[in-house]
Chains A and B, each alone.
Chain A
């Protein structure tokens, strides 16, 4: 009995300690963001609970930086990326799972090959091509959004995920529909797609998280501040408020609220352990 209690106690201690380490950087940022100008944020010993408690930093950063605009931009980019991934991946996954055609092996291995090549290694030509196609914010805002989205509009991960989902559907489902006179598009749209909704949800959620946090590509391609996505805009706060850590902290916290809400609402997809390895590393 005592041994059992001791074991449980030590397990909880380790896990509580790790949990605290995981959230402490945010807690400290939150604490800083709530400290008024009357309080020294470099005080020794540091105070977790603000003494001069205020929301002034939030109001200040909200007025000086168009965070709402960054948020909209992020929503458009992440939303567009998710939508295109769902459509293109399920379209491409279907023939790979269900049809016989010339060149299937080539298509399969070409898709697999894209997994092995990191975006970071080919980003320069991707940039040059995007420029050539005038898909930048220099042309207009719509072109800018398309340029932000297109390089991530489909991924091999998504195609293989959908292929696996289609493979798991019993053939009889399709056969019944074909006997009823459905053509290939109706089979795809009316019979197969509704059956892979769980996989579509997984693809949507993980694509969303990846796209929402993407930093490298937007920081390469964007030139106009009004087109900034949240990560780029938040990084930019460092330059705007060079040493005003209260504002930087407040802006960072605001930008994090939407994704935390999203995470808590969708937590079962992240922590059930069934979708392991779904997010890009």
Chain B
């Protein structure tokens, strides 16, 4: 290949994106870490360097543990469902049946619609005298405070997240299913294996990397939940739905406690980066030609 570009040409092409990433990504990244060692709570214009004091405070703060517990509940409830149900649906849709496109469109619809509208729609379903409580009453179960009872609120929010994510992960699985060799299924059919055995012995092992990928992606998004909470519960009742991002938001933009919020952001950063690293190194190598 003859060299047709000057020494500076590559940098010229990289410059515009580089400037944006520098200002709105790299500087904020290091500033977050820097801020986490400072205390702004006395004077917003004049911070004190306090070392790891913010971190020590965080680990003594019961609300922080509550928030981490909520995020953990999110992970253990939402992630397995989002890894399994969309796979099941994708297998069904992957059969040669009529109406596939319509099913795909309808199931994908929640992914497209703004989270704010989705959250409002669910808030309405969850109303005290709403349609879900009516259904419970029909089944002779007492109405529950879907979003007002600290026992249930987090699960109600999780249901929204699952509902909104199913179509997205189903499409990821559908793409993966295309790579499973047809002959393997034919062999199963000859053996007379049933639906579940067929897919447990052929499909699942074959697309294990995709299942793992969905698990890590859905874990990362579970840790970034914000809009659902903001629109539906504002973290209440009694902090029962407060997630880590919501708590950071509250501390930073409502309490103006910049140092404290930044220290929590660093903790979030560390956890998400571990998941992302696993993701990139194990499942997305070809995407980046690593």
Contact = CB atoms under 8 A, between A and B. Distances in A.
A269 B197 CA distance: 33
A171 interface: yes
Nearest to A94: B13
B35 to A, nearest CB: 7
A21 B171 contact: no
Given A42-B129, A118-B224, A220-B253, A263 B112 contact: yes
Contacts of A252: 117, 120-121
Interface in A155-175: 159-160, 164, 167, 171, 174-175
Contacts of A1: none
Contacts of A121: 32, 248, 265-266, 268-269, 272
A160 B288 contact: yes
Interface in A183-198: 183-184, 187-188
A38 to B, nearest CB: 18
Contacts of B163: 21-22, 25
B29 interface: yes
A83 interface: no
B139 interface: no
Given A259-B114, A276-B175, A126 B28 contact: yes
B178 A273 contact: yes
B56 interface: no
Interface string A18-51: 1101110110110010000000001011100000
A167 B289 CA distance: 10
A121 B6 CA distance: 39
Interface stretch (A52-60, A61-69, A137-145, A229-237): A229-237
Nearest to A263: B112
A177 to B, nearest CB: 9
A118 B248 CA distance: 13
A117 B269 contact: yes
Contacts of B241: none
B5 interface: yes
B45 interface: no
A120 interface: yes
B181 interface: no
Interface residues of B, number: 104
A124 B261 contact: yes
B222 to A, nearest CB: 9
B152 interface: no
Contact of A117 (B13, B29, B120): B29
A213 B113 CA distance: 7
Contact of A120 (B102, B217, B268): B268
Contacts of B141: none
B6 A116 contact: no
A154 interface: yes
Decide if the interface of chain B is mainly helix, strand, loop or mixed.
Answer: helix
A112 B185 CA distance: 38
A234 B117 contact: yes
A46 B134 contact: yes
Decide if the interface of chain A is mainly helix, strand, loop or mixed.
Answer: helix
A118 B269 contact: yes
Interface string B1-30: 110111101110110111011011111110
B20 A129 contact: no
A57 B9 CA distance: 58
B290 to A, nearest CB: 8
A76 interface: no
A224 interface: no
B227 interface: yes
A202 interface: no
A234 B116 contact: yes
Contacts of A216: 226-227, 249
A279 interface: yes
Interface in B245-277: 245, 248-249, 252-253, 258, 261-262, 265-266, 268-269, 272-273, 276-277
B190 to A, nearest CB: 16
Interface in B98-154: 99, 101-118, 120-122, 124-125, 127, 129-131, 134, 137
B168 A279 contact: yes
Contact of A91 (B14, B287, B289): B14
Interface of B: 1-2, 4-7, 9-11, 13-14, 16-18, 20-21, 23-29, 31-32, 35, 89, 92-93, 95, 97, 99, 101-118, 120-122, 124-125, 127, 129-131, 134, 137, 163, 165-168, 171-172, 174-176, 178, 195, 213, 217-218, 220-221, 223-224, 226-227, 230-231, 245, 248-249, 252-253, 258, 261-262, 265-266, 268-269, 272-273, 276-277, 280, 287-289
Given A101-B10, A110-B21, A120-B245, 9 more contacts: A15-B92, A15-B103, A22-B163, A114-B21, A150-B23, A219-B230, A235-B231, A273-B174, A273-B175
